[in-house]
Amino acid sequence: GQNIDQPTEMTATEGAIVQINCTYQTSGFNGLFWYQQHAGEAPTFLSYNVLDGLEEKGRFSSFLSRSKGYSYLLLKELQMKDSASYLCAVRGGNYQLIWGAGTKLIIKP
């Protein structure tokens, strides 16, 4: 079957760094996506990895290891507005997105 696992909830402190992990098992692989979703809003795109390695975009970075079926999203210099759910999604062999359940990130002052 197809499966994406990520932690349900994480807590971090304002100004700190947090790493959200995602492991996946899918039929085929055509890229991994990270999205941010604030409560009651639509998801917004953060990053896309299709090759192994690190993609950096400002305070956010995303890493992919295809051989390990593993990705992480790294958030630096955390701000209160980063409190949100972070969704990991894999585009499988049929080009449809398979979504993880999301990680709720709580930022404390």
Interface with another protein includes 73 (CB under 8 A)?
no
> Minimum CB separation from another protein for residue 109, in Å?
25
| Total of chain residues touching another protein, rule CB under 8 A | 20
Task: Spell out the SS3 assignment of the chain.
Answer: CCEEECCCEEEEECCCCEEEEEEEECCCCCCEEEEEECCCCCCEEEEEECCCEEEEECCEEEEEECCCCEEEEEECCCCHHHCEEEEEEEECCCCCEEECCCEEEEEEC
- Choose which of 10, 23, 48, 76 interacts with another protein (CB under 8 A): 48
- Choose which of 7, 23, 55, 97 interacts with another protein (CB under 8 A): 97
Q: Which is nearer to another protein, 30 or 76 (CB)?
A: 30
Interface with another protein includes 51 (CB under 8 A)?
no
- Choose which of 12, 22, 33, 71 interacts with another protein (CB under 8 A): 33
Beta bridge mates, 101: none
Q: Looking at 14-22, 67-75, 76-84, 95-103, which segment touches another protein (CB under 8 A)?
A: 95-103
Interface with another protein includes 14 (CB under 8 A)?
no
Give just the sign of the alpha carbon dihedral 23, 6, 3, 72: negative
